[in-house]
Amino acid sequence: MVPTFEPLSLPDVVVVRAPKHQDARGHLMETYRRSVFSDAGIDAHFVQDNLVRSVKGALRGLHYQLPPAAQGKLVGVANGRIFDVAVDVRRNSATYGRWVGRILDGGEGEQLWIPPGFAHGYVVLSDGADVVYKVTEEYRPELDRGFRWDDPFVGIEWPVVDPILSPRDRSLPLLAEADLEPVA
């Protein structure tokens, strides 16, 4: 059984559903195989894996990296439940400033492919969550950028009112004031 790939309303943002192989011991999911992803049009070369543990109500984002190290991300949840968001930050795109959101649940086996040129953020819906993601470029703090989670221009319909934010995320600019470069 191979994963299924479901394109969402923003170009190139895709939900990936990995099948579970379950028995009396538990389950196994193959979350990534380069050839299968490439055949589905996601020809990413991952260079770094991250694991983030967060508490209920924690909101992380909205973050992206500038070229030449703009990151594509394959995001999943090992444990817990999040509302995951991608925002098109490509100034030359017809969907600039538009967002798409998806609930990712550790028990469901879904991942979200977010290509370079999109900001990413999520809020934890369960008591806690372990978010795992692969990126196509290494973290480069000098190119790391972001904008406010509650930017009215973008209008994300977050399922929280008063999230837990880092000092950095609390002080991010609006998208109109953010440092952006178009990504081809």
Structural domains of the chain in order of their starting residue, each with its CATH number? 45-177 (2.60.120.10)
Q: What is the pLDDT along the chain (184 residues), one digit of tens a residue?
A: 789 999 999 989 999 999 888 899 988 989 999 999 999 999 999 999 999 999 999 999 999 999 999 999 999 999 999 999 999 999 999 999 999 999 999 989 899 999 999 999 999 999 999 999 999 999 999 999 999 999 999 999 999 999 999 999 999 999 999 999 754 4
Residue 63 among the catalytic residues: yes
Q: Which of 63, 96, 120, 122 is catalytic?
A: 63
pLDDT of residue 16: 97
pLDDT of residue 183: 45
Q: Which of 64, 120, 122, 133 is catalytic?
A: 133
pLDDT of residue 27: 85
How many CB atoms are located within 10 Å of the residue 72 CB?
21
Taking CA atoms, 92 is separated from 159, 179, 182, in Å, by 29, 14, 6
All residues at 6 or more sequence positions from 138 whose CB lies less than 8 Å from its CB, including other chains: 47, 48, 69
pLDDT of residue 182: 52
